[in-house]
Chains A and B, each alone.
Chain A
C-alpha cells in the first residue's frame, strides 16, 4: 500500500520527523536520526553556523535521504521570524521553514497572534510554512486559510515528555484539517507517538525523547517502529470500544402501524 505523506513538493516514506537539539554529541545525533529513518530533520537556525561549511550539525546531516527543516526557534515576534526565515532560505537553500515563535522563555509556548501574522507573510513570500502552535482548532483553520502547508499542534509543553495532554483538541484538529497534521512537542515515548498516529495524525515530530534517552540510537529505532505501527493501525481501522446497551422504549415501532 502506498502510504506516503506529501507536504508541498516533497513526499515522505517516514512519518517520523526529528530534531537535532539536546544530543550529547553530533555523532550520536546522526546515528540516532539514521536509526529513526526520519527524512525531515529540523535544525534551529539560531544554533547552526550557516556560514561555516564545516558546521558540526550540518556536516553530520549531509545525507541525501535527509531533508533539513530550518526552524525559527529563539525568535519572539513575527518580524524576527520573517527575518530568520529569509536568512535560512539564503543560507540553507530551502524555502521550507518550521515557524516557531515563543516569546516565553520558560515553557516555550508558541505565540498564536505573531505566528498567524508571520505565516501569512511567509506564505506570500513563497515559503512552505510549518507552524508550531498550541492545539487550537480555530487557529489551525485560520492558518490553513492563509495557506500554510501543514499544522504542527503540540501534545504537551515542549520537552516535557508528557504525551498527548491536548488530546481532545488534537482530535478536533485532525477531524477538521485539510492540511497534514503533525503532532509536535510533548511526545515522550514511542507509545505516545503510536497513539498520535492511531488518532489519525499525519506525522509526529520527536526530539527530546530520543536525544535524552540513555540510548538514543535504540530509541530512534523504537520511535520509527511505533510510528509505523500506529499508522498501520489507523489505516486498518481500530476496533471500536464496546458500548453498554441500555433498555429503552422502542422509537421505531410506529413504522409497523
Chain B
C-alpha cells in the first residue's frame, strides 16, 4: 500500500518554493474570495504576496473558526514523562550528547504530576517523552496510559514513532491522539539536524502518520519545527501531508501545531526566521484551507501573541506548561526541553480567555467508554 512518501517524492523543494514565491496579489485575492480552497490557494495565502492581506485573512479565519467551533477553546496540558533520549537533534535540550541528568518518572511521580494538573482543571493531557526504547518503550507507555486513564478523558502522546501494532495496542488501552512532527520536509536539512539515532531515518518518521491512520487512531497531530528551513516550503509540505492523510484515513481527525525554534541551553539559532507576522499568516492560511482542522498553540509563544491569536483561528491551547519531567511538582528544577515564553498560571490565562468571550472547555469528549 502506498504512503505519503510516494506523494512527497513527486515534489521538488526548490520548485515548490519558487511556486510559492511567484504567487501574485491576484492569486491571493482569488483565494480569499473562494468558499473552498485547495493547496494552490494555500500557497498564495502563505506567499509574500499575501502580506498586505493579513488583516483580511485574520477576519475570515476568525469567522470560519467561530462558525465551526463556536466561541470555545479547548485546554490541554503537556506532561513530560522522561528526558532520556538516544537521538541527537541539534535543536533539542534532551539531545543524547547534552550532559544533563536523565530522569524517567515512576508511577508515584506520574500520579503526583497528574494530581497537580487535575487540580488545575485539565482533562486533556499530552504525554511527552524522548526516544529511549529500553526504558521508555511501548510497555512503559502502555503502563503510563493505563495508570492515568481513569483521571483524564483524553490522552495524547508525543513520543518516538512506533509500529502500527504498537499503536493499536496503545489505542486499545485508552490512547486518543498521537502528535508526530516531521520537523522539516527537506531531506538534507533533516539529516543535518538528526545525525544520529532512530530519528535520523527520514522516511520512517514521514510514514508514521500512515501507520497511525492504519491503526485507526482518533486524531493525528502534525507540524513542522519552523526555523529549520524556509517556513513557507515546510508549511506547504505539512499541508500537503495533512490533505493526503485526510483523504486517505477519513475516519481520523487532525490537528496542526506551529512550533517555532526557541532558544534552549546550548541552542541552535533558526536558519530562516519566522516572525510573529509570519506565524499569524500561517495560522490563518491553515484555517482558510480547512474549516475542521484543530489548530493548536503552546506556551512557546509570548503572552501578547497568545492573547491575540486565540481569536484568529486557534482552537486548542495549553497554559503554565512545563517541558521537563517532573516539572510541575516532582522536580521543578530539572532541565527543560525548551524554554517556554508565557509562564502565566492557568487561572490567569483562562481569565484572559473568558474576557475575550471564549468559553474555556476542559473536557471535550469522553474517551473512556471503551
Contact = CB atoms under 8 A, between A and B. Distances in A.
Interface string B303-319: 01101100110000000
B58 A257 contact: no
B247 interface: yes
A254 B304 contact: yes
A251 B36 contact: no
B59 A251 contact: yes
Q: Please indicate which of the listed interface residues A171, A175, A252 has the most CB atoms of chain B within 10 Å of its own CB.
A: A252
A178 interface: yes
Contacts of B36: 171, 175
Interface string A238-257: 01111100101011101101
A254 B121 CA distance: 30
A252 B276 CA distance: 10
Contacts of B30: 237, 239-240
B33 A241 contact: yes
B280 interface: yes
Nearest to A140: B250
Interface residues of B, number: 23
A243 B250 contact: no
A243 B31 CA distance: 12
Interface string B19-59: 00000000000101111100000000000000000110011
A176 interface: yes
Contact of B62 (A176, A237, A243, A251): A251
A141 interface: yes
Contacts of A141: 250
A255 B276 contact: yes
Interface residues of A, number: 20
B304 A257 contact: yes
Contacts of A251: 55, 58-59, 62, 308, 311-312
Contacts of B280: 252, 255
Contacts of B304: 254, 257
Contact of A243 (B33, B247, B312): B33
Contact of A242 (B33, B54, B247, B308): B33
Contacts of A242: 33
Interface string A149-187: 000000000000000000000010001111000000000
Q: Please indicate which of the listed interface residues B54, B59, B307, B311 has the most CB atoms of chain A within 10 Å of its own CB.
A: B59
B248 interface: yes
B277 interface: yes
A175 B39 CA distance: 12
A241 B58 contact: no
A117 B62 CA distance: 43
A241 B33 CA distance: 7
B295 to A, nearest CB: 15
Given A250-B55, A251-B55, A251-B62, A178 B276 contact: no
Nearest to A141: B250
Contacts of A250: 55
A254 B308 contact: yes
Given A178-B247, A240-B35, 19 more contacts: A175-B36, A176-B247, A240-B34, A242-B33, A246-B59, A248-B59, A251-B58, A251-B62, A252-B54, A252-B58, A252-B277, A252-B280, A252-B308, A254-B304, A254-B305, A254-B307, A255-B276, A255-B280, A257-B304
Interface of B: 30, 32-36, 54-55, 58-59, 62, 247-248, 250, 276-277, 280, 304-305, 307-308, 311-312
Interface of A: 141, 171, 175-178, 237, 239-243, 246, 248, 250-252, 254-255, 257
